[in-house]
Amino acid sequence: MSEPIPHLDEIPTRLARLHETVLAATQRAGRAEGAVVVELAVKYQGADRIAAALGAGGFLLGHNLIQQLEAAELALRATGAPTHRTHVIGHVQKNKAAKALAFAQCIETLDSLPLAERLNRLHGERDASEPFDVMLQVNSSGAESQYGLDPAEVVDFAGAVNELPHLRIIGLMTIGAHTDHVTEIARSFTTTRELRDSLLASGIASATQLSMGMTHDLDIAIAEGSTIIRVGTAVFGPRP
Ligand SMILES: *Cc1c(COP(=O)(O)O)cnc(C)c1O
């Protein structure tokens, strides 16, 4: 009983509907309008569908695979797509670090010091005026299948990354517990929010963002303080 893949022309309406859902959830949570940004999770979407979402008011893109990131960014540039910002939301292998830096503006999934050190060195060599933005991925549900840092190691790891001059920690990213139990999902988001607050309290003032919530659990994430929800299915339909 899978839903058919929506036509390109339906993407603007679906994005508008998502924005209404997000606004309603933000208000229910008693949070300020605009406190939550939609990041379009675009894995396996063609550049035409991504461009349709950008043309309909999308701005932030999230890519899982570096190969798709590169291909999509090159296609969007070639067709003059609207200005946008792109994050990496999938695991980054060390040998893909340079490509990730070249085609994205933030890696949300940093969870190892060797990768952090490589990104720091490579970005330093680029002579950029600003440090490269990273978020630390937290394995907040404890699932063995998930990448990310154990919650107990996040503060120390952040301290080590914060010493690297060419990286800037802008927050934490997590994938909610893979279950239908709302309280369990909420707990993984609360854990992540509390860790973000610990980073701020430890003096990492740039670590304000919380990337959490997807199509099925964005309401819970917004109630728990998410500032970035990563949404694919609600906008693009089932993945091809
Ligand atoms: C695919 C993906 C999403 C979006 O999931 P949907 O259920 O399609 O909204 C969010 N985050 C990550 C890391 C993903 O891989």
Q: Could you read off the pLDDT of 160-190 as tens digits, one per residue?
A: 999 999 999 999 999 999 999 999 999 999 9
Determine the average pLDDT of the residues in 119-131.
96
State which ligand 1 atom lies nearest to the alpha carbon of 89: 13
The band of 31, judged by pLDDT with boundaries at 50, 70 and 90, is very high
Q: Which two tokens stand for residue 161?
A: 């990354």
Q: Is the CB of 215 under 6 A from ligand 1?
A: yes
For residues 128-138, give the mean pLDDT.
97
Amino acid residing at 202? S
pLDDT band at 1 (very low <50, low <70, confident <90, very high): low
Average pLDDT over residues 185-205: 98
Closest ligand 1 atom, residue 90 Cα: 13
- Where helices occur in the chain by DSSP H, the ranges are 11-28, 47-55, 66-78, 97-103, 113-125, 154-162, 182-201, 218-223, 233-236
pLDDT for residue 236: 98
Under 8 Å CB-to-CB from 41, ≥6 apart: which residues? 62, 64, 89, 214, 230, 231, 232
Q: Which residue bears the tokens 């990213």?
A: 173
How far is the C-alpha of 178 from the C-alpha of 195, rounded, in Å? 20
Q: Is 214 in the pocket of ligand 1 (CB under 6 A)?
A: yes
Is pLDDT of 154 > 90?
A: yes
pLDDT level of residue 144 (50, 70, 90 thresholds): confident
**Ligand 1: distance of its center to the CA of 106 in Å?**
17
Closest to 216 measured CA to CA, from 159, 173, 176, 183 = 176
**pLDDT score of 202 more than 80:** yes
pLDDT by residue (tens digit) across 86-101?
A: 999 999 999 999 999 9
Query: Which candidate, 55, 56, 67, places its Cα nearest to that of 102?
Result: 67
What pLDDT does 127 receive?
Answer: 87
Q: What average pLDDT is seen over the chain?
A: 97
> d(Cα 99, Cα 229) in Å, to the nearest integer?
24
Is 148 close to ligand 1, i.e. is its CB under 6 Å away?
no
Beta strands 167-174 and 60-63: pairing type?
Answer: unpaired
> Across residues 118-123, what is the average pLDDT?
98
Measured CA to CA, the distance from residue 46 to residue 55 in angstroms comes to 14
Examine the pLDDT at 237 and tell me if it is beyond 70: yes
Average confidence (pLDDT) over 194-211: 98
Contacts of 235 (CB under 8 A, 6+ apart): 11, 14, 15, 18, 40, 53, 58
64 lines ligand 1 (CB under 6 A): yes
- Other CB atoms within a 10 A radius of the CB of residue 235 amount to 28
What does the alpha-carbon distance between residue 43 and residue 23 come to, in Å, rounded to a whole number? 25
Closest Cα to atom 11 of ligand 1: 230
Give percent of the chain above pLDDT 70: 100
Give the per-residue pLDDT at 133: 98
Direct distance between the N- and C-terminal alpha carbons of the chain, in angstroms, rounded to an integer:
15
**Beta-bridge mates of residue 218:** none
**Which pTM was predicted?**
0.97
| Ligand 1 atom with the shortest distance to the CA of 236 | 8
Looking at the CA of residue 215, tell me the nearest atom of ligand 1.
9
Banded model confidence at residue 33, pLDDT cuts 50, 70, 90: very high
- b (16+ CB within 10 A) / e for 153-166: ebbebbeebbebeb
